[in-house]
Structure 1
Amino acid sequence: MADKAKIKSFTDLNAWREGHKLVLMVYEATDKFPKKEIFCLVIQMRRAVISITSNIAEGFSRQTGKEKYQFYSIAHGSLTEIQNQLLIARDLKYIDLKEFSQIATQSAIVHKLITGLKKSIRNA
């Protein structure tokens, strides 16, 4: 995470920045899904991935550690949801192995950073 003294906005959080990269990757990948998935897997994946950065942002704005932790935990849950949906998309061959690997790697980075945010609150 960036130096705490320099964090003035949720966009300064590495977890949000890397999460935003994940959002863009998922949107790009789901653009190529079959039309029959537009109201199912596509919308579900997009909602889940947006939830990650939205909850990081909302958690950042909260005043108490308990509230921050709650929103970061929700972001963690949404990330796990995306990881599951990526496996489904891979198995249905909606994304190839290279793209799956890139998105899965990015999701692991985001997981680590959200875990760090949660630990920093518990240890404060």
Structure 2
Amino acid sequence: MATFKTFEEIHAWQKARELNMLVGNFIDSGRFKSNFRLINQIEGSAGSIMDNIAEGFERSGNKEFLQFLYIAKGSCGEFRSQLYRATDRNYIQKPEFDELFALSKEIINWLQKLIDYLQTSELKGTKYMTRKEDNK
């Protein structure tokens, strides 16, 4: 697995951004009517996925990064649960549910691959590099 220089290079973050854009389009189109609580929850959990990947990465240490990746994974599960609520209320239809659900599962798979890699990697993060290693 390649070393990332920015969180924007992380595939799970890119997919989470895509998920946010899709959900935002549904919300902005008025499909969620005025169910502001569900709007806040589904938008919050979707945003939390990408935000936690970014925050964990910027902490510059693998232990903290792992912690935030697990939080992002949990937010992805929360998001999927909210998808069921949105479908049950007919805010989104089955094909839209399927698309968002599949994308959220893809994000979880990418997160798990990154978690597995970091758990076995000897790299500790950039904040633990010596000046000599930093100049490579």
TM-score (structure 1 length as normaliser) = 0.90
- The partner residue of 1:103 within 80, 100, 104 is 100
Greater C-alpha Rg:
2
Shift of 1:64: 2.4
Q: Residue 81 of structure 2: which of 81, 84, 95 is its match? A: 84
* Structure 1 residue 34: Cα displacement: 1.2
Distance 2:27 2:85 in 1: 12
**Higher share of residues assigned helix:** 1
* Amino acid aligned to 1:71: F
Once the 2 structures are TM-superposed, how far is the Cα of residue 44 of structure 1 from its aligned partner?
0.9
Q: Which one of 2, 7, 12 corresponds to residue 4 of structure 1?
A: 2
Partner of 2:55: 58
Secondary structure at 2:90's aligned position in 1? coil
> Hey, what does 1:29 align to over in structure 2?
26
Q: How many residue pairs align between the two structures?
A: 119
More displaced stretch, 11-20 vs 60-69: 60-69
**Structure 1 stretches of 5 or more lacking a match?**
none
Q: Residue 17 of structure 1: which of 14, 24, 39 is its match?
A: 14
Q: Which runs of 4+ in 1 moved over 3 A?
A: none
Normalised by the length of structure 2, the TM-score is 0.83
User: Which residue identity is paired with 1:33?
Assistant: F
C-alpha deviations, 1:71-90, integer Å up to 9, x for none?
00110111110000001111
Amino acid in structure 2 at the alignment position of 1:108: K
Runs of at least 5 residues in structure 2 that lack an aligned partner in the other structure: 122-136
